[in-house]
Structure formats: structure tokens, C-alpha cells
Chains A and B, each alone.
Chain A
Amino acid sequence: MKKWSKSIIAVLAIVFVLCNVYLLLKENSKAERTINVRDWTRVEKDNVKKLFYTKGVTEPESETHVYFDKRKGSLDKILVKEGETVTAGTPLFVYDAQKLEDKKAVLEDRKERLQSEMSSVENEITELQQIKQQAPVDTAKTETENKKVKVDVNIDTSPIIDSNVQQKIAAAQTEKSKLEATLTENDAKLSRIDEQLQDLNVVSPVDGQVTNINPELQDPMITIASASSAVKGNLPATRVHEVQEGQAVKLYSPLLDQYYTGEVSQVIAIPDYKTAKKEPMYSFLVKLGNESDNSAIEDTPTDEPTRITSEAEENTTETSGNTDAAKNPDKQSKVNLNNEASTVTEKEKPLLLGTKMDMQVTLAEALQVPVIASKSIEKENKKYYVYQMTKNGMVRKQPIQIGVSYKKKNQVIEGILTKDTIVTNEQNVKVSDPSPFITPSKSENLNKKDIKALPSIQKAKYILIGLFE
């Protein structure tokens, strides 16, 4: 009988407790919950940067093509080699100048002839003028020195002769001005031919490096890669709409162990089918900023193969700062690459075309904004919530609006302010109604000065709370 009653009591007690648990845990329970908040955090101002990592390769920022103009004549000779570095104004090739040179010779001969004719006409004029002066036109002026001559002339001269000389002078002067006009015309022709001769030298319009010369004179005849290099980055389809012009990019060359900065200058939303095996791959161009060494390309050896077809070749190019390595066969230079990459530690090494880059694109950034870790955010029906600890000693579910988020950091646009206290929701606290909460003591936070700083009445208050509640 006693055992029976014991069992009944035990069963009743268990049933009672289970009833309580049911009433407590069932939905819309009226029983008050006290949330055990094990960890909490204060919303702080921080920077959120949405980053995107990809790989890229340096390539010329732009390519300039130089065309061959058949109307200017045939090609005389090409003055540059593939791989040669040129500046704006460097002659690239010359048209054949023979025709013009012949013309020039003719004109020059003519010029000489004209000039000799000119001088003979001029002589004639001076002679005639001397005859005219011998006539007694102005006796007063010549009386001192030429008294004797005066007498002779006075004898010979007649008004008929005088007018004859005058006519001759006029004729000679007409001749002279004709010759002068012809000479000017000839000079103009000469200078035009000179100009044309100058024009036969085709010069580079830009600074850069000759990457291609077409020996069959097909267009474009010469391709010049600009000295300033850009980096072409791989862009998977999922990111195409996120990368935009002007976004900041950080770059790192593992080979040179050097960092660069730049910004996105162009997004190329045309898939690159060459590399696209599974998914289309797009690309974007990054213009390097100040850190990029534009002059560096000038240091590259001229015999460097600029058309990179495979990665192996690319690597060879990169190490060819040492010319021995460049001249060595492929296999050997690969070995050299491994050695050099680890041993060479010079700074400010030239940035070669084809250098592989690790890229970090800042897709979006929010600076000095309230930031919440993803673990503290609860997502429900596409809305975001945090559990905020209010000044009433309650935990409440607070809807928030999220801005930039990356790597578990989320910018809060609305709902929570800086310095608000929220539950670090790893423990999966779930409350629908605002509920009181308790927190464990964290002695690592304790600073004895804080206790001493409290007035005695406050100390008594907290001790009494501990004692009676």
C-alpha cells in the first residue's frame, strides 16, 4: 500500500511537471520566459567592404595600329623591330623616296639655273645703270673726280642713246622680276617636296612597345602597345552586374611580391569563349594607379616575346629580367623561375606585361556605419531581425534593414543604432514578445575600480537585490 502511494505521488509529480513544460513551450504560451543571454554585443561603427577576389593578367592599356598608305609610295624600310620600345615621334618606317628625290634634283637644278640667270640679269642692270650715270645728268655731283671723263661723255652723249639705255634697264628689270617669280615658285615646290620627304617617315603617335609588324604590309602594319598597362581580370557571370566602372581595386603580384592599386576602367560584358569551357567568363579592365610603374616596361629586354600564348611562356617572360633565363630553353627557364621567384627580393621590380595578378575588387563599401555580425541576425521570410536588449531589461525582436554585407559583416541601414546592445544570437534565442533576460557574470570584464567608484548607497542596492531577489 505504501509503495503504491509512493509511486502514485511520483507519477503525479512527473505529470505535473510535464504539464507545466507543455504549457510553457506550447505556441502562444502565456508563461513568461526569461531569456538566458549568454553573449551580447554592442553595435559598433565599422566599415563594410564587399569584396570580390579574382585573378588577372597585365596587358597593354591600349593598342595603337599604324597603317600603310600605298598612295605614298612603296615601302623603303622598317626602322623598328618587334618588341622595341618607342616614344611618340620615333620613326617607324619610311616610304620609298626615289621619285621625290628625282623631282627634288630637277627642281634644285632649275633653281641653280634660275639663280645664275638672275645674277646675269642683275649684272646687266648694274652695267646699264653705270652707262646712264656717265651721261651728264647731274654734273654738280660728279664734278670733283671725273672731270676728264665728263669732257669725253659730253662729247659722245646724245638724247637718243640716253633713252635707249633707259629702255634696256626697264627690260632687264622686267626679266628680273619674272625670274624672281619663277624662283619663288620653284622654292615653294622644293619645300613641298621636302615636306613630302619628311612625311615619308612614319612616326609613332604614342609611347609604347611595338608588338607586331606585319611583313606583308597588310593592315594594321604595325601594332604599338601603350606603355601604360592595364590588368584584365576574370569576371564570372554571377559578378558581371556587380563590377562597375570606378570601383577601387587592389592588386598583388605574387611573383613580384608587390601591391598595386587601381580602379575598374571598363567592364567587358562579352563572354570570352576561348577560356569558356563550362560557364561563360567575362572580363574587366583595371587601370593601375600611381603605384604602377609605367617606366618599368622600358627596362624589358627588346627580344622579349610579347604575344603570350600559354602560361608557361608567360612565366618565362616574367623571369626574363635576367636575359640568360630568357634565352634558355623553356624547361630550364621554368626551373629558374622557381629559384628566382624565391630568391630575388629586389623592390620596385618592373611590372611586365603578362604578369599574373591577384585582384581584390571593392564592389561596395559603407564606411563608419553601424555594423552587425551575421551570426546576430535572424532571417525570417526574407526579413532580418536582431534581438535587441532594451533599457527596460527586455529582449525584443527588432526588424532591421541591411545594406552592404560581406564576410559576415552587415551594414544596418535601419532598425538599430550604434551602441545599441544586441544578443549575439549563436545560441538561437527566439522570442516573439519582449521578455526579460538574464546574463551570466563575466569576470573577465571586471574592473575593481568600477566597484570602488560606486557610491555606497548604490553598492547597498545591488547587494540587496542579490539578497532578496
Chain B
Amino acid sequence: MILRINPFRGIFTPAVYREMLAEAEHYKRYRLSIILLYLASILIYMVGSSLGIGSESISKELPTLTDSAFEARKQLFLIGKLLQALIIPTIFLYLSSLYYVAFANGQFRKMMIMQMNVLGIFLIEKILLIPLFLGLNIGSASNVFSFGVIAQYITSNVIAIDFLSELTIFRVAMFFLSFFYLTKLIEGRKQTLFVLNVILYVIYWIFAGFISYMKIEFFF
């Protein structure tokens, strides 16, 4: 059976797509989908970053620099964002698939196709956040999809806020969607798969939370 890869169907009709993916032996548009996802990632990151999202830490240099010197730094920041736009899909597609192959005996291609859906959700969130961040004048700490806003009411602990602000309903959806796929694609106990998946997402979360908390300029 041949599966025409379509991450949108994978996200919005997961039950059907999951069956098709489980039975498929050949895949159409496999490489194209990967390339398109990378391109989408680059596009979304570049649009968001050039509008200023995530540039809080270099803003403090604006009053002391000329506009052109500031813009030079902004361009370097954009190069960094471009690298991020390449690394994020790599982590979600390749590294995560390798994790499932290594620890849950998954088939690499099927894992890749499953992870395309997960990456799709991640990118949809990124797209939605661009107008929300700019329109509501908020940053990632007050992301309305996350627990960050509530966290700021509960605590003033910066680490807690940073970690909770990285916990968004989209990330939760990513977790459950991948678990939903894993139960069909990998034979094994549901509990084991759940724990495996929890471990992976906790690693994601710690990574994201740590990056959110970390201020690069401390190292310079």
C-alpha cells in the first residue's frame, strides 16, 4: 500500500491517517514533505524574527547604538534564528525518530512520517503566535497558549515561569498525538510507550525551558 504523505491529514484526521500509515509499505512525497517542512520552518522563523519576536535581549543595545549598527546586530540575530529554524525540524524529525527507533523498536520512516505531524503542530503554533505576540504586545513568557500567564499570577520564580511558559496546549497536543500514533505503529505495552514518550517530551521541555531561562550575554 502506498501512503501519500500529508501532515495536515495526519493532524486533523489522525485515526484514518494512523491506519493508513500503519499499513503503508511505500510512501509518496516523503522527501518533498521533509523539504517543505524545513522551508516552512525557515519561513515562519524568519517572518517572526524579522518582526522582532524573541529579540528582547538585543533591544537594550538600541539606545546606545546607531540605527545601522543596531540593524547589523539584528541581522546576526536573524542568522542565529535561521540556524534555529534548521535545528528545530531536525530535532523533531530525525532525532526524535532515532529515539523511537532506538528505544521502542519503531520503523524509522514511519516514525519520521509520524513526527512530521508533530512538527506540523509545532509550526502551526508558531504561526499563530506571530500575530498574537505582536498584537497583544506579549513575549513568550506570557504566551496565551501556555501556563506562563497563570504561573506569573502564582509565583514570581523566574525559572518556574520560564518552564511553565514553555508548556503550551500545542505541546500537550503534540505529546498526545505522537502517543496516539505510537500505540498503533509500535507493538508493545501502552504504559511503556507512554513513559518513553513522557521521557522524550520532558527532555524537550527541559531543553526549551533551559534555553528560555538562559541568557546568552552572560557568557560574553
**A interface residues, Cβ below 8 angstroms from B:** 13, 16-17, 19-21, 23-25, 30-37, 40, 389-394, 420-421, 429, 435-443, 445-448, 450-451, 453-454, 457-459, 461-469
Asked if B145 contacts A389 (CB within 8 A), the reply is no
Take A24-B136, A440-B51, A466-B83 as given contacts and tell me if A30 and B145 are in contact as well, using a CB distance cutoff of 8 Å. Answer: no
Most interface-central of A435, A437, A454 (chain B CB within 10 A): A437
Identify B137's interface contact among A13, A20, A35, A393, CB under 8 A.
Answer: A35
Most interface-central of A19, A394, A439, A459 (chain B CB within 10 A): A439
Take A35-B137, A459-B76, A466-B79 as given contacts and tell me if A20 and B150 are in contact as well, using a CB distance cutoff of 8 Å. Answer: yes
- Min Cβ gap B45→A in Å is 9
Asked if A438 contacts B169 (CB within 8 A), the reply is no
- List chain B residues, Cβ under 8 A from A17: 144-145, 169
Take A17-B145, A392-B60, A439-B55 as given contacts and tell me if A466 and B136 are in contact as well, using a CB distance cutoff of 8 Å. Answer: no
- List chain B residues, Cβ under 8 A from A421: 62-63
- List chain A residues, Cβ under 8 A from B219: 461, 464
Q: How far is the CA of A33 from the CA of B79 in the complex (A)?
A: 26
Majority DSSP secondary structure for residues of B touching A? helix
Shortest Cβ distance from B214 into A: residue? A468
Asked if A437 contacts B56 (CB within 8 A), the reply is yes
Take A17-B144, A439-B55, A441-B49 as given contacts and tell me if A461 and B217 are in contact as well, using a CB distance cutoff of 8 Å. Answer: yes
Tell me which residues from 58 to 100 in chain B have a Cβ below 8 Å from any Cβ of chain A. 58-64, 67-84, 87
Q: Does B220 contact A (CB under 8 A)?
A: yes
- Min Cβ gap B200→A in Å is 20
Shortest Cβ distance from B215 into A: residue? A469
- List chain A residues, Cβ under 8 A from B142: 24, 31-34
Identify B77's interface contact among A20, A389, A462, CB under 8 A.
Answer: A462
- List chain A residues, Cβ under 8 A from B87: 467
Shortest Cβ distance from B172 into A: residue? A13
Question: Which 10 residue pairs spanning A and B have beta carbons closest together?
Answer: A466-B80, A393-B60, A34-B139, A450-B72, A462-B76, A438-B52, A466-B77, A467-B80, A20-B144, A445-B71
Q: Does B203 contact A (CB under 8 A)?
A: no
Shortest Cβ distance from A430 into B: residue? B137
Shortest Cβ distance from B139 into A: residue? A34
A-B contact pairs, 26 of them (CB 8 A): A20-B150, A21-B144, A24-B138, A31-B138, A31-B149, A32-B138, A36-B133, A392-B60, A394-B60, A421-B62, A421-B63, A429-B137, A439-B59, A440-B50, A440-B52, A441-B75, A450-B68, A454-B73, A459-B76, A461-B219, A462-B58, A463-B80, A464-B80, A468-B214, A469-B212, A469-B216
Most interface-central of A16, A19, A36, A465 (chain B CB within 10 A): A465
Asked if A391 contacts B56 (CB within 8 A), the reply is no
Q: How far is the CA of A241 from the CA of B153 in the complex (A)?
A: 55
- Min Cβ gap A194→B in Å is 86
- List chain A residues, Cβ under 8 A from B50: 440-441
Q: How far is the CA of A451 from the CA of B81 in the complex (A)?
A: 17
- List chain B residues, Cβ under 8 A from A437: 56, 59
Shortest Cβ distance from B170 into A: residue? A13
Asked if A465 contacts B80 (CB within 8 A), the reply is yes
Q: How far is the CA of A391 from the CA of B70 in the complex (A)?
A: 13
Shortest Cβ distance from A443 into B: residue? B71
Tell me which residues from 182 to 203 in chain B have a Cβ below 8 Å from any Cβ of chain A. none
Shortest Cβ distance from B60 into A: residue? A393
Shortest Cβ distance from A34 into B: residue? B139
Asked if A33 contacts B137 (CB within 8 A), the reply is yes
Shortest Cβ distance from A468 into B: residue? B211
Shortest Cβ distance from B54 into A: residue? A469
Shortest Cβ distance from B72 into A: residue? A450
Asked if A438 contacts B56 (CB within 8 A), the reply is yes
- List chain A residues, Cβ under 8 A from B80: 462-468
Q: How far is the CA of A457 from the CA of B67 in the complex (A)?
A: 21
- Min Cβ gap B123→A in Å is 18
Q: Does B36 contact A (CB under 8 A)?
A: no
Shortest Cβ distance from B146 into A: residue? A20
Asked if A30 contacts B56 (CB within 8 A), the reply is no
Q: How far is the CA of A389 from the CA of B142 in the complex (A)?
A: 21
Most interface-central of B53, B87, B149 (chain A CB within 10 A): B149
Tell me which residues from 132 to 174 in chain B have a Cβ below 8 Å from any Cβ of chain A. 133-134, 136-139, 141-142, 144-146, 148-150, 152-153, 169
Asked if B57 contacts A463 (CB within 8 A), the reply is no
Q: How far is the CA of A469 from the CA of B81 in the complex (A)?
A: 9
